[in-house]
């Protein structure tokens, strides 16, 4: 009789052990599911915040562009009288200073970017400097005059003109640093 009782107790203990292990597994699965839900909620919240920040950034860009359009007529008058620094005004890069037209067409996507006004046929070039990438070039700006040798605008920051080299500037395209400006 004690054999049966010991056998029964062992069976009960085995079942209790199996039940406890199942309970631990179920709790672990539930905990893992809660962790995944929390991570997903944080990811969704982070994505929503990123989208909100992106939307706010886009709104600020639109507001700046709208403000620039409102100020454009006064800027055109100002830079028509004295074009010094016109290359630094982003809103005027694609606007004709002669007639104020905004319907400017680009004749060339390669450097230098050639622009033409369809209303008055004025032509100019406007782009970033191919050499230092920080300088802005605009053939209408007296601070970036055309090189007398190659005809390219000289960067006011680094002095580069033609990327293939020029007798006024011994820059070569593989160099990609500031030019040695020859006096």
Collapsing DSSP states into helix, strand and coil, what is residue 85? Answer: coil
pLDDT for 73 equals: 87
**99: cis peptide before it, omega within 30°?**
no
For residues 54-61, average pLDDT: 92
- pTM of this structure: 0.56
Q: How far apart are CA 169 and CA 177, in angstroms?
A: 13
pLDDT for 171 equals: 56
Q: How far apart are CA 170 and CA 160, in angstroms?
A: 9
Distances (CA, A) of 123 to 4, 10, 104, 129: 107, 98, 9, 19
Beta strands in 1-159 (DSSP E): 105-106, 114-116, 123-128, 136-138
Nearest in space to 125 (alpha carbons), one of 90, 97, 152, 155: 152
pLDDT, tens only, 127-162:
888 877 778 888 899 998 888 888 888 888 878 888
Residue 30 pLDDT grade (very low, low, confident, very high; cuts 50, 70, 90) = very high
Domain boundaries, the chain: 1-71, 82-183
pLDDT, tens only, 101-129:
888 888 877 777 889 999 999 998 888 88
């Amino acid at each position: 009789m004690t054999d049966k009782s010991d056998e029964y107790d062992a069976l009960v203990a085995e079942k209790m052990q199996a039940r406890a292990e199942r309970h631990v597994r179920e709790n672990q699965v539930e905990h893992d599911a809660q962790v995944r839900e929390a991570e997903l909620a944080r990811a969704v919240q982070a994505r929503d915040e990123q989208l909100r920040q992106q939307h706010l950034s886009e709104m600020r860009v639109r507001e700046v562009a709208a403000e620039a359009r409102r100020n454009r007529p006064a800027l055109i008058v100002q830079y028509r009288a004295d074009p010094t620094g016109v290359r630094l005004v982003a809103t005027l890069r694609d606007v004709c200073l002669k007639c104020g037209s905004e319907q400017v067409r680009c004749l060339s996507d390669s450097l230098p970017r050639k622009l033409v006004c369809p209303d008055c046929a004025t032509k100019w070039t406007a782009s970033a400097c191919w050499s230092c990438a920080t300088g802005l070039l605009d053939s209408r700006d007296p601070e970036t005059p055309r090189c007398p040798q190659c005809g390219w605008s000289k960067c006011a920051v680094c002095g580069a003109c033609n990327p293939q080299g020029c007798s006024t500037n011994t820059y070569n395209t593989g160099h990609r640093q500031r030019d040695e400006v020859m006096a």
